[in-house]
Chains A and B, each alone.
Chain A
């Protein structure tokens, strides 16, 4: 992880770090909470994904507990443990970056979880790596391998909840994913965000998740997904 303290000339250093160390998380402490500052800063890193589920269909999604008719609006809007995953796994093109600005941390739980793809590649037993790189899995209506090797570079797309909830998986397939999840758990590292911490990381090189937190913890993160300008 590369750590910074926010100041107005911080951008070039962050850009360089993201380019040179793509698997490292950039953490910027003391980032202003205003949306326009966040959007302006991130616009230099990539093109933000605008989605109807975001605030005013813009670029910012509030990751917080939110209900829709007595049910959580989505898994992200719950207080449940979110296994490590790739954002937008059901999209045809996966955004390369995810930015999360902590507005209010949970006093208890709600820690961010990460797994590096390079460590997974190192530790995966060869038969399991072969399955994950060769078999096309359903992510909603999109079919792709969990791990891809294109022009000598690995990338990952994994979201167990999407894979399991929108497709009927066989017991054999579930067993494979359990084995993969076990390895993810061993390689997971934790980050406890403070208010005004901004993290930016590669969505295709790191899996991310969170731990459970109390339902009424008022944990709020602002999330922006970005397509690389390259």
Chain B
């Protein structure tokens, strides 16, 4: 399937088109999105003064057509997206600290 995605949020705004297999999952969609915009799927949270400075990778928060993406192992088909309309994708750095 071919999806037109209008994205906004942490990576700015833009429109891209991605091609997915019919049984692709939401995870596949998001991975393809990150490949298309050439941005990592994770970001670093870090802090503390040496010797207790630590860092780790966390994922972004996503909203497809304003709905929060909670399950990524479901198929894109199950979202029943209208293929004739552009998918709205919001990407945010959600709170991932405490």
Which residues on the B side are within 8 Å of A126 (C-beta)? none
Q: Are B46 and A165 in contact (CB under 8 A)?
A: yes
Which residues on the A side are within 8 Å of B96 (C-beta)? 73-75, 165
Q: Which of A71, A75, A83 touches B52 (beta carbons < 8 Å)?
A: A83
In the complex, which residues 13-69 of chain B have their Cβ closer than 8 Å to any Cβ of chain A? 27, 42-50, 52, 54, 56-59
Whole-angstrom distance between the alpha carbons of A6 and B72 in the complex? 43
Asked, given contacts A75-B97, A140-B95, whether A165 binds B27 with beta carbons under 8 Å apart, the answer is no
Which residues on the A side are within 8 Å of B57 (C-beta)? 71
Q: Are A69 and B72 in contact (CB under 8 A)?
A: yes
A128 is an interface residue with CB less than 8 A from chain B: no
Whole-angstrom distance between the alpha carbons of A80 and B95 in the complex? 17
Asked, given contacts A69-B27, A83-B52, A185-B52, whether A161 binds B46 with beta carbons under 8 Å apart, the answer is yes
B98 is an interface residue with CB less than 8 A from chain A: yes
B93 is an interface residue with CB less than 8 A from chain A: yes
Q: Are A166 and B93 in contact (CB under 8 A)?
A: yes
Whole-angstrom distance between the alpha carbons of A80 and B72 in the complex? 26
B64-88 vs A: 1/0 string, CB under 8 Å? 0000000010000000000000000
**What count of chain A residues pass the 8 Å CB interface test?**
32
Which residues on the B side are within 8 Å of A90 (C-beta)? 95, 97
Q: Are B49 and A182 in contact (CB under 8 A)?
A: yes
Look across to chain B and name the residue whose beta carbon is closest to the beta carbon of A163: B47
Whole-angstrom distance between the alpha carbons of A161 and B52 in the complex? 12
Q: Which of B43, B47, B50, B56 touches A78 (beta carbons < 8 Å)?
A: B56
Q: Which of B43, B57, B95 has the most CB of A within 10 A?
A: B95
Whole-angstrom distance between the alpha carbons of A165 and B54 in the complex? 11
Whole-angstrom distance between the alpha carbons of A83 and B43 in the complex? 20
Q: Are B49 and A185 in contact (CB under 8 A)?
A: yes
Q: Are B56 and A80 in contact (CB under 8 A)?
A: yes
Q: Which of B45, B50, B98 touches A87 (beta carbons < 8 Å)?
A: B98
CB A78 to nearest CB in B, in angstroms, measures 6
Which residues on the B side are within 8 Å of A140 (C-beta)? 95
Whole-angstrom distance between the alpha carbons of A80 and B55 in the complex? 9
Q: Are B52 and A85 in contact (CB under 8 A)?
A: no
Whole-angstrom distance between the alpha carbons of A73 and B94 in the complex? 11
Q: Are A75 and B49 in contact (CB under 8 A)?
A: no
CB B83 to nearest CB in A, in angstroms, measures 27
Q: Which 9 A-B pairs have the closest CB atoms?
A: A161-B47, A181-B49, A165-B45, A160-B47, A83-B48, A164-B47, A178-B49, A80-B54, A74-B96
Interface residues, chain A, with chain B CB atoms under 8 Å away: 68-69, 71-76, 78, 80-83, 85, 87-90, 140, 159-166, 177-178, 181-182, 185
A-B contacts, 9 of them at CB < 8 A, read A69-B59, A71-B56, A75-B56, A78-B56, A81-B52, A140-B95, A160-B49, A164-B46, A165-B97
